[in-house]
Structure 1
Amino acid sequence: MLHPGSVNHLEPGKSLPDHDGEVAGWNSALNSTAAVVWIDEQAFILNANPQAIQILGTELVGRPSDQIFENAILLKTEVAANLPAIVTLRRALKGETVTDELWRVLLPGGEGSVWLVSTTPVMDGEKVTGASITWRDITSCISMPEQFQPEAHWLRLFMDAVPEVMYLIDEHGIILSGNKTGAIILGCDPAELGGKNLFDLLPSAPAAFQKEKLETALREAQPIRFENKIRERFYTEFLYPILDSNRQPRSVALFMVDMTLYRQMEVDLRASEERYRSLVENISDVVFQLDSAFRFTYISPVIEQVLHYKPEHLIGQEITDLIYPDDQMQVISVLEKCKSNSQRFEFRMVDRQRHIHIVSTAFRPSINHTTPRSITGILSDITDYRHAEEALRYREERFRSLIEQNLDIILIVNLKGRIDYASPSVEHVLGYKPEELVGKQAITFVHADDYAKVVQAVKYGLYTADFGRYIEFRAPTKNGDYRIIEAIGRNLVDSPAVGGVVVNARDITERRLAEDKLWYLSTHDTMTDLYNRAYFGEEMSRIERGRIFPISIFIADVDGLKEVNDNQGHSAGDELLQQTALLLRNSFRSEDVVARIGGDEFAVLLPGADEFAAQAALARVRRNLQTFNETHKNTPLSLSMGVSTGGKGHSLGEVLRLADENMYADKISKLGRKARGTGPLSGQRYLPDKSD
């Protein structure tokens, strides 16, 4: 078998001799247009063809493959996306062939590429001795998503339709993806955006600030919002870490909202405030006077700034000539009924350039009875304000739609503990309509056994910005079942728009059940339903590090199991083991750890049991065994048993060895001859040879 460092690389026209069948096929790899590397069963690089060496460099052989491909991620597989590419290598080393996966790779020179990768295990009989990795660079093909990624095509259309800047970056700031808006502000072609370092494309000051925020988001694994100024434009930026299954950040989604217009609007609003102050002081809005026929007899010079008319050109002209046709009748009606307490109302006017303005106007009739009737008015152009209000309403509707379509539950709980808002997703998870929850005490939707930890988290959240971490609790559904909920809260009591704690919750019932099942399978023997050897060893280590002393260990070996298997079949042997497990489980305390540690061997940890308690437990097992055999005379059960006790400072390994020796002594005393075990705790090294 080849070992790391045995061969540097294959050169064109040369081949390696067939070594145990493991290098057959490399001759074809020499002339292949694809890149090929070969790894051993420990994932070290054994060899590489010239194409692979040209891409990855000459210093390959002998290096761990997880270092070579540490910057590679899976773009999409049948299992998941954005996983480390080393996952594919591990699958191949377990005997699985993987074809046509997409990897995004950061090459040694910093250039990003997309590979189409296949991995094949190398077998020696039924044993996996390594794997071959073959790839082709398809970076140039990514511009045709209809062929390679139809789902990504629609996602790309969506991203490019969003006016805000969107990037997906890794922990180094390398752009994995971005939309057209993001490419435009960086001065890049959208097709060339991937693989570039975002910080290299920005001015130094905002790049350094953005890099600092990225490090914080990765370190805290929490979203971050901040303000940044880039090339004379103001942005509100949002960093959202994307977590893997272990809740570790793998990449970060960056959203940048151009707030320059809003900053300018703030400036304009301040200027507007100054204008209104000047209105009081200098009457800077349009002030005008109409005669009884609604013709202008006076108009202030500000009209030139609003509607681009010179005041002298409007004198004698009817006001209706400047009003948008659809609003003329409404304005005439107001003027005809004008009273001293008339309020402002809005209508549209057309300026000299035929642009439409929304104006707010107040009319007041003259109170001088010695002159003909006239009307004085003050006119304010509120076009920008109304447009900004409409834009704000649109954004509010958009974010409301995002919240209401979210699969997670969003609640707002006030200081009295009542639910002020529940998102529509609550009906999907718990079966309640949102209006059925509003006004109810939030704690009534928590299982009674989980009250304490939920209340503690809420109290913590009221004194801080948020709950600090996710909490799990059970919530009742409308049909009487319970779902396991994972939730986190944010204290926005001081926000006038919210006035409560915002709770984000999701249903993790299926995930938690799967985790519990996986834990059970990893710690239990499936035949006997007892703990397995691995769990028994972990408990020994845990107890030995603790303070639970004295501790006793009980060992039992099933006599004649091999004869039962040979004579009656393995099903009879399995039933014998299951009867033994049931007998031992019924003979010990609930806090004792009963395990099957070998084919026919069982062991029990008895925390806090001294020698007297251990002997009592041994006697209890013997009594239960006798009772069992009296009721099962056709299938009697025979056990060889031993027990040992250790105090503080004693090695549990030594206690286990002594219990094993006592068990074999019991076996010898019953057989009247030497008995040597064949299980994992064989007593062959412990029993002296009495023939010596």
Structure 2
Amino acid sequence: MLERFSLKNILENMTMGVILVDSDRNLIYMNQLVTEITGYEIEDVNTLEKGFQIIFPDPDKRKEIKNIFNVKLKDRGYYNAVFPIKTKYGKIKYLEFRINLLEDDYLLINLVNVSERIAQAKELKETKERLEMAVEAADIGIWDWNIKTGKFQYNEHGAEMLGFEKNELDGEFSTWKNLIYEEDKELIEQKLAEYFNGETDTFISEHRIKTKSGDIIWIRNIGRIVEVDQDGSPLRAIGVHINIDEYKKREKEIEFLSFHDELTGLYNRRYLENEIERLSESRKYPVSIIVGDLDKLKKVNDTFGHKAGDEYIVNSARILESVVRNEDIVARTGGDEFVILLPETDRSTAIKVCERIRRRFTDYNAHAPENFSKEFSISLGSCTAESSEEDLGICYNIADQRMYVNKEKNDRG
């Protein structure tokens, strides 16, 4: 079978350049791939010496490499090295030379174009250098993930951010993954999958991570693939960790303040309106709404001062919270007005809740401090929407009207 294939045919179809040099160091064969890589024909480089001159135009460099080349060939019978060469058309390419000493002092030279690999390594080095410069100017840590081997390395600052010394982390991807807050692991998997599938240009995630002391901090994680194999599969990624814990705390405070009443900590009107809209499209019917308005708040302010009035409002908020379930919404919508949303609550239950509220106010009066108003009470009105066909906004207005009817009775009484 092998007789059908000539040696020349085999050499011309190899995936690396092949050069054969005789004992006088003349080039006696060069396959077409060498010409494709370098642009040179065998007539252009007919001797090994001429090849050295092309690759190393500087005489001193050429002499140094030739000495190393001759010593290694003599001692080992082979010589491997990577050098940049200028092609016939002036382009710089990095070639790996694999040279073996054959019988009768012949040389077999194989050439492999490694320009892309060198460029990737250079890009990786430059990217890491840029990141290291950024670390000096900001509170960030660098990570380097060898996706093929599973090695995951932090720089010193990255380890310190998590409370570790660099040598305390064993350098495994699984170690980093185990530090991620349990509830955020699914998010990380999703973000990585989206990035590896090409759905995003950069891997970006904000998630929580455990420190050495057991504390949980928020970090912003940004990374990119910097090395792939011949099939385009990712080999290496590098990125940064940024400590955003303080930012997240401030963000949470801002979010809390945007939906909560500053004095009582209850939800505010904005949040209440969002919840009414959400419940109107839910299946949590019947939905009951209770509107409450504190009685004689102005009298309390005028008699005892606004500080006492604020205490009056805060104590009212605590009473309302104490009579409802966790899933119910209690909001302060004005100076002395409160609203309670009761999902999956019928009319009779809502009336019972109103009764409990009144009893709690009466009980509080019985044990109130001497300097506190004994007229601590609230006027209430309620309405129930039995199904989503009934408008919760109208239900709210009806509860509000009923509250004012009751308030007039209380004022007369």
Same fold (TM over 0.5): yes
| Higher RCO (C-alpha 8 Å, min separation 6) | 2
Q: Distance in 1 between matches of 2:223 and 2:320?
A: 47
Residues 586-638 of structure 1, C-alpha deviations (whole Å, 9 max, x = no match)? 12112211111111111111111110110110111112112111111632212
RMSD: 4.7
1:373-452 correspondence runs (5 A): 396-406=124-134, 407=140, 409-412=142-145, 414=147, 418-435=150-167, 436-439=169-172, 441=174, 442-452=176-186
**Residues 324 and 360 of structure 1, relative CA distance in 2, 3 Å threshold:** farther
Query: Equivalent residue of 2:283, what SS?
Result: coil
Contact conserved, 1:461 with 1:491, CA < 8 A, in 2?
no
Query: Equivalent residue of 1:594, what SS?
Result: strand
Query: Offset of 1:475 from its aligned partner?
Result: 0.5
Which of 47, 57, 61 is equivalent to 1:302?
47
Contact conserved, 1:275 with 1:284, CA < 8 A, in 2?
no
Which of 383, 395, 405 is equivalent to 1:665?
405
Which of 615, 638, 645 is equivalent to 2:384?
645
Residues 95-132 of structure 1, C-alpha deviations (whole Å, 9 max, x = no match)? xxxxxxxxxxxxxxxxxxxxxxxxxxxxxxxxxxxxxx
**Residues 599 and 285 of structure 1, relative CA distance in 2, 3 Å threshold:** farther
Contact conserved, 1:465 with 1:490, CA < 8 A, in 2?
no
Alignment-mate amino acid for residue 568 of structure 1:
F
Alignment-mate amino acid for residue 670 of structure 1:
N
Q: Distance in 2 between matches of 1:586 and 1:414?
A: 54
Q: Distance in 2 between matches of 1:547 and 1:598?
A: 29
2:210 matched to 1:476? Answer: yes
Q: TM-score, normalised by structure 2?
A: 0.68
**Residues 585 and 415 of structure 1, relative CA distance in 2, 3 Å threshold:** farther
The equivalent of 1:551 in structure 2 is: 287
Alignment-mate amino acid for residue 412 of structure 1:
W
**Residues 508 and 393 of structure 1, relative CA distance in 2, 3 Å threshold:** closer
Query: Offset of 1:430 from its aligned partner?
Result: 1.7
**Residues 285 and 620 of structure 1, relative CA distance in 2, 3 Å threshold:** farther
Task: Give the gaps of 5 or more residues in structure 2.
Answer: 1-11, 28-44, 82-96, 135-139
Q: TM-score, normalised by structure 1?
A: 0.43
Q: Distance in 2 between matches of 1:365 and 1:458?
A: 54
Residues 64-115 of structure 1, C-alpha deviations (whole Å, 9 max, x = no match)? xxxxxxxxxxxxxxxxxxxxxxxxxxxxxxxxxxxxxxxxxxxxxxxxxxxx
Q: Distance in 2 between matches of 1:470 and 1:505?
A: 10
Query: Offset of 1:492 from its aligned partner?
Result: 8.8
Alignment-mate amino acid for residue 217 of structure 2:
R
The equivalent of 1:12 in structure 2 is: none
Contact conserved, 2:331 with 2:339, CA < 8 A, in 1?
yes
Query: Offset of 1:396 from its aligned partner?
Result: 4.8
Query: Offset of 1:556 from its aligned partner?
Result: 1.4
The equivalent of 2:32 in structure 1 is: none
The equivalent of 2:85 in structure 1 is: none
Query: Equivalent residue of 1:644, what SS?
Result: strand
Query: Offset of 1:667 from its aligned partner?
Result: 2.2
The equivalent of 1:216 in structure 2 is: none
**Residues 572 and 448 of structure 1, relative CA distance in 2, 3 Å threshold:** same
Alignment-mate amino acid for residue 620 of structure 1:
R
The equivalent of 2:26 in structure 1 is: 287
Q: Distance in 2 between matches of 1:285 and 1:394?
A: 38
Q: Distance in 2 between matches of 1:614 and 1:601?
A: 18
Q: Distance in 2 between matches of 1:531 and 1:389?
A: 59
Residues 558-603 of structure 1, C-alpha deviations (whole Å, 9 max, x = no match)? 1111112122211111111111111111121122111111111111
Query: Offset of 1:380 from its aligned partner?
Result: 7.9
Task: Give the gaps of 5 or more residues in structure 1.
Answer: 1-270, 289-299, 310-320, 347-358, 367-375, 674-692
Contact conserved, 1:403 with 1:423, CA < 8 A, in 2?
no
Q: Distance in 2 between matches of 1:365 and 1:619?
A: 108
Comparing 502-511 and 658-667, the one that deviates more: 502-511
Query: Equivalent residue of 1:499, what SS?
Result: strand
Query: Equivalent residue of 1:622, what SS?
Result: helix
Query: Offset of 1:653 from its aligned partner?
Result: 2.5
Query: Equivalent residue of 1:484, what SS?
Result: strand
The equivalent of 2:366 in structure 1 is: 630
Contact conserved, 2:124 with 2:226, CA < 8 A, in 1?
no
Number of residue pairs aligned between Structure 1 and Structure 2: 353
Query: Offset of 1:512 from its aligned partner?
Result: 2.0
Query: Equivalent residue of 1:537, what SS?
Result: helix
Which of 375, 383, 396 is equivalent to 1:656?
396
Q: Distance in 2 between matches of 1:546 and 1:275?
A: 68
Q: Distance in 2 between matches of 1:425 and 1:285?
A: 59
Query: Offset of 1:476 from its aligned partner?
Result: 0.8
Query: Offset of 1:498 from its aligned partner?
Result: 5.3
Residues 438-484 of structure 1, C-alpha deviations (whole Å, 9 max, x = no match)? 1252331112233444445556667x346797444310112322111
Which of 581, 587, 597 is equivalent to 2:323?
587
Which of 237, 251, 255 is equivalent to 1:519?
255
Identical-pair percentage: 25
Contact conserved, 2:142 with 2:238, CA < 8 A, in 1?
no
Query: Equivalent residue of 2:26, what SS?
Result: strand
Residues 532-578 of structure 1, C-alpha deviations (whole Å, 9 max, x = no match)? 22222222222223332211111111111111212221111111111
The equivalent of 2:31 in structure 1 is: none
**Residues 517 and 389 of structure 1, relative CA distance in 2, 3 Å threshold:** closer
Residues 248-282 of structure 1, C-alpha deviations (whole Å, 9 max, x = no match)? xxxxxxxxxxxxxxxxxxxxxxx9x99953x33x8
